[in-house]
Amino acid sequence: MKGTHHPTGRRTDGPGRVLGLLLALVTLIGLTGTTAFAAPSHRDTSPARPPRLAAGPMDTVAAMQPSWNLGNSLDAIPGETSWGNPPVTKALFDTIKAQGFRSVRIPVTWTDHQSSTAPYTIDAAWMNRVKQVVDWALADGLHVVINVHHDSWQWLSGMSTDHDNVVARFRAAWTQIAARFRDSSQALLFESVNEPQFDNTTDAQGIQYLKELDTAFHTVVRQSGGNNATRLLVLPSLHTNSDQIYLDALVSEMKSLNDPNLVATVHYYGWYPFSVNIAGGTRFDATAQKDMTDHFTRIRDTLTSKGIPVYLGEYSLLHYPDQNHPSRVEAGEALKYFEQFGYEARAAGVTTALWDPGTFAFMDRATLQWTDPALIAAIKSSWTTRSGTASSDRIFLAKSSAITAKTLTLNPNGLTFQGLWQGGTRLVQGRDYTVSDGRLTLTASALTRLAGSRAYGINSTIEARFSRGLPWKIHVTTYDRPVLSDTSGGTGGLTVPTRFRGDLLATMEAKYADGGNAGPTDWTPFQEFNETFSPDYPGDGISLTSAFLNSLRDNAQATLTFHFWSGATVTYRVTKNGGSVTGTVA
């Protein structure tokens, strides 16, 4: 992950990503046992070759499932606490182990701790700190992956214009890392580079540069001897992208290295519009589901089915969870994403490492508590089984209207629906709800009881339970169409007074009178959540950001359509004139 204080936009997953032409599949490699390639052809110069791990690479990587990332700590720039996380402690790894994780990826950025000129020396204090943290994790019986992380975009990306210095610095970094960890347990894996990318290059050029770096990495580590002679080495595809062109190139590269102890790695953050909530990507819909299914199909067909172990080094959603900002992704849609992700990974035989940037996201590293217990429970459940879901986790009831029956579509995911519960009370089928052809309908009488006083917001929560996995929570919610008011201000930011009245904002559509898209993202009328607009529920407002306002044409009225999760829409008009902005109700 190219990090700031929290995950940022991917460079390869958006609508502008290079799709690449499919290359012919490489010649299938003869396989024996659990190894994908023949034994290494290089000679081992170490005095005594240490024994191999008892398990083969496929078994070892499988034993690393599930995995967790110590994100935004040792990879933070310029130092460990620069991005808001406290110093790493042994207690953190104790907690991660107790929570069921079997391995950890410890991203490390070396840039600010390594001289930028020959001999490219790594600061001893930094190396000692990395070693201390790695040893803590190993002491807990965890497998550990370390790498060269944000260096990938800080200086490695300049390889096309500074080739010799980049290669020399990369070799020097791994020479020092390999020497320091030479005698560490073989439960430690080395990953050559995180999310490799190269400025101003074609795919073909980038693939060749990556092969050159990986070959140097492989040679340096193997020649360092000790446990490094057979240590598992993790090699990424270009951009850690799973498009076929990149997977084929990675297979070819691994074959050329002729080493059985290699592991492939890619990352996954979902269908880009859904992952950041842009272009109307508010739901984990058929398009987002297919993107995930296709990702794992390519991995299975190209790698795991051929005996090549895969460690999926990062997964999550790009901007979810984020406790510091309004949620871009609706909670139920996120749960569906993580539920299917776990299933697809298991079916493909892939070990997965949750990207956790720290205190504002999954694990609060100050308290060692999960920030969203329901979310982590769903992720944990997905490691071993499926869970049933539904088309939504909310039923909206308009306060201004009489209550009528409401229907959701059940997604059993191969399980059997067993009924509805409110706490310890089972609802009565036929009286409170009916199920027909996968459609769950709650009766008007049951909803009237569940709505209670009909105060705005969630009135009650019921659970759809299935034969296995976690129950699907359904929040019975009272709302009325939100009400916006006129306002004025400057281009530094404008807050539109809003009475949400129990509803939740899903997305914002922005267009000019001539039909053109308004806003900084001009390829879609649906602007990016939190980057251009953001709800402030406690403050009764919708914020329009400076990025959005400054992108508007002067004196060209933009019509904004706010879409809410109830299905309600509200139209609003904004006009910029120099540094001033006026907003009016349509």
Give the Cα separation of 252 and 250 in Å (integer).
5
Residue position matching structure tokens 């869970």? 387
Output the CA torsion 575→578→580→585 (10° steps).
0
Give the Cα separation of 579 and 577 in Å (integer).
6
Structure tokens at 195: 């999310």
In 10 A of CB 25, how many CB atoms? 12
Asked if residue 110 lies in contact with residue 151, where contact means CB atoms within 8 angstroms, the answer is: yes
- Listed in sequence order, the residues at least 6 apart from 411 whose beta carbon sits closer than 8 Å to its beta carbon are 336, 388, 389, 390, 391
Give the Cα separation of 151 and 170 in Å (integer).
9
In 10 A of CB 86, how many CB atoms? 14
Give the Cα separation of 371 and 433 in Å (integer).
34
Instruction: Map residue 93 onto helix, strand or coil.
Output: helix
Residue 344 bears catalytic tag: no
Residue position matching structure tokens 């084929």? 248
CA distances from 512 to 16, 437, 493, 519 (A): 23, 43, 20, 10
- DSSP characters over 118-130: TT-PBPHHHHHHH
Long-range contacts of 389-392 (CB under 8 A, 24+ apart): 389/332, 389/335, 389/336, 389/339, 389/413, 389/472, 390/440, 390/464, 390/472, 390/474, 392/332, 392/474
| Strands ordered across the beta sheet of 457-466 | 394-398, 472-479, 457-466, 417-422, 425-426
Gyration radius of the chain's alpha carbons: 26
Asked if residue 87 lies in contact with residue 80, where contact means CB atoms within 8 angstroms, the answer is: yes
CA distances from 203 to 208, 241, 242, 325 (A): 9, 12, 13, 36
Phi, psi dihedral angles at 340 (to 5 degrees): -70, -35
Catalytic residue among 80, 191, 195, 531: 195
Residue 523: which of 21, 14, 18 has the closest Cα? Answer: 14
Structure tokens at 213: 């770096």
Residue 314 bears catalytic tag: yes
Catalytic residue among 80, 253, 314, 333: 314
**DSSP character for 85?**
P
Could you tell me the end-to-end alpha-carbon distance of the chain, in angstroms, rounded to an integer? Answer: 42
Give the Cα separation of 241 and 268 in Å (integer).
8
Helices (runs of H) and strands (runs of E) counted in the chain: 13, 29
Bridge partners (DSSP) of residue 369 are 364
Give the Cα separation of 272 and 9 in Å (integer).
9
Asked if residue 539 lies in contact with residue 493, where contact means CB atoms within 8 angstroms, the answer is: no
Structure tokens at 394: 């909310």
Asked if residue 264 lies in contact with residue 322, where contact means CB atoms within 8 angstroms, the answer is: no
Structure tokens at 75: 């990879």
Q: Which residues are catalytic?
A: 195, 314
